[in-house]
Amino acid sequence: MVADEPPDRQLRVMPWWLVLVGLLLAAALGWLVLGLLLTEADRAVQPDTRATLRIDAIRTGLTVVAGTGGGLALLLAARRQWIAERAQRHQEAVAARDQAHRDRVQAHAESVAEAAQRQQDRQSTAAEHDAAERRLTELYTRAVELLGNDSAAVRLGGLHALERLGQDNPSQRSTIVAVLCAYLRMSPPDDEPRETEVRRTAQRVLTRHLRAQDETEYWPGVMLDLTGAALVDLDAEGCTLVDATFTGAMFTGTTSFAGATTKGRLLLGAARFGDVVFDNVTTLGEIVLDDIRVHGPASFDGATFTDGLSCRRSHFAGPTSFRRVTFGQPTSFDATRFEEAATFQEAVFDGALSMEHTRFAGPAAFHSARFAHMALFRWTTFGVEALFDRARFTDAANFGRARFHGMASFRDTQFSRPPQVEQARAVVDNDHRWPAGTTVRRLDDEWLVLVDE
């Protein structure tokens, strides 16, 4: 028996006198039956019958004693079997509890071992991470120190070290790009003739990893902040620019963004360019060219400005081309000056266009251009020619107070409604081709005035 078994379930030992009492009861019962039967046998009349009855009485009494003893023996045997079965169950229960205890101990030991292993793994991982971070920090610090060296050759080595570091460690690319941008934002030293090559190399490092042609070298998602940077012959052709800022940058030589894709904003406000190429640019965000100065040719042929273009108060000193350009959202060239020929041939303006106070010193060509929304040319000055042949204006067109210093041609131009030309003026020239229904009056010997009907 186990100590924790309930008292009412504990097995009690049978006392020896209980068996003696049972035997005495059996003997007493047999004696009582025998006495009764003998008494009845003595009452028989015939002697032979009396003897027979006495023998039967004795036999019956012995039978009763034997039966009672057998019953007691049967009870003892049943109790012994019950005790044996209970002992078996008890042993099985004890064995089950022992096994469950061993299982719990084993599970606990395994859990402790696993926890210890996890802790060891975490410590090992943390140690490896710390070691890797220390190595990265050391490499980064050494490369930046090289970049600040007085020798151009050493600075070139620092650039390549930073590039390798970024190529092998994607998590460091944004930081490395920020360092390269900061270097380009710093003013170049005047007494270092090889600085131009260093800056060209820094630019190539940036643009090389912004082209998606080679996935192993492409650094996705990095942002350029080249505000006020001095850039030489920047070649960003085919690059993907994400929220790139070139505000106030100085671009010397030929700058190319041909085939580039912009995501987010492309800010070029107040930048200065030599020659610039934006051919086939695709913009998926706002592009700002306000207050820029372009000293050489500028080409935007085939570009797509999905969210429109802001090019206000800008100055284009060389030939400028916007052939087959698609302008999405509202586009503004307000107060912009084109010193030489400017062409918008076959351009598509899906949003509103504003060219108020814009000045075309050279020919302005809008052949076959499409204007889906309002087009404003108020106070616009056309210095040589204003050519709108075969253009189509789906919405209102306003040339109020415009100045045509050369020939104006609207041959085969389509207007959904008569254009507004209030107080627009044109030099006296027999080659003008005005929109149908336009009233032209002579103001003096030099000027004509256009009047809305």
Instruction: For residue range 124-145, list pLDDT tens digits in order.
Output: 887 777 776 677 678 778 888 8
Contact 369, 346 (CB under 8 A): yes
Contact 266, 242 (CB under 8 A): no
Which residue carries 């009485």 as its tokens? 57
- In angstroms, the Cα distances linking 19 to 10, 23, 374, 424, 442 are 21, 6, 123, 140, 152
Long-range contacts of 248-253 (CB under 8 A, 24+ apart): 251/276
For the residues 102-113, what does the mean pLDDT come to? 89
Q: Tokens in use for 61?
A: 């009494």
Q: Say if residue 381's pLDDT is above 80.
A: yes
Q: Using CA atoms in the order 235, 240, 243, 249, what is the torsion angle rounded to 10 degrees? A: 0
Helix (H) or strand (E) holding 152: helix 152-168
Q: Say if residue 396's pLDDT is above 80.
A: yes
Cα 417 from Cα 433, distance rounded (Å):
18
pTM of the complete model beyond 0.85: no
Which residue carries 């003696």 as its tokens? 20
Q: Tokens in use for 426?
A: 């044109």
Radius of gyration for the chain, computed over Cα atoms and rounded to the nearest angstrom: 55
Phi, psi of 385 (to 5 degrees): -130, 145
For the residues 250-275, what does the mean pLDDT come to? 95
Helix (H) or strand (E) holding 206: helix 195-208
Q: How many whole angstroms from its chain centre is CA 209?
A: 20
Q: What integer pLDDT is reported at residue 366 of this predicted model?
A: 97
Q: Beta-carbon neighbour count of residue 90 at 10 Å?
A: 14
Q: Say if residue 19's pLDDT is above 70.
A: no
**348-349 and 326-327 beta bridge pairing:** parallel
Cα 33 from Cα 410, distance rounded (Å):
150
Q: Beta-carbon neighbour count of residue 260 at 10 Å?
A: 24
Q: Tokens in use for 28?
A: 């007493």
Q: What integer pLDDT is reported at residue 429 of this predicted model?
A: 79
Q: Which amino acid, one-letter code, is at 63?
A: T
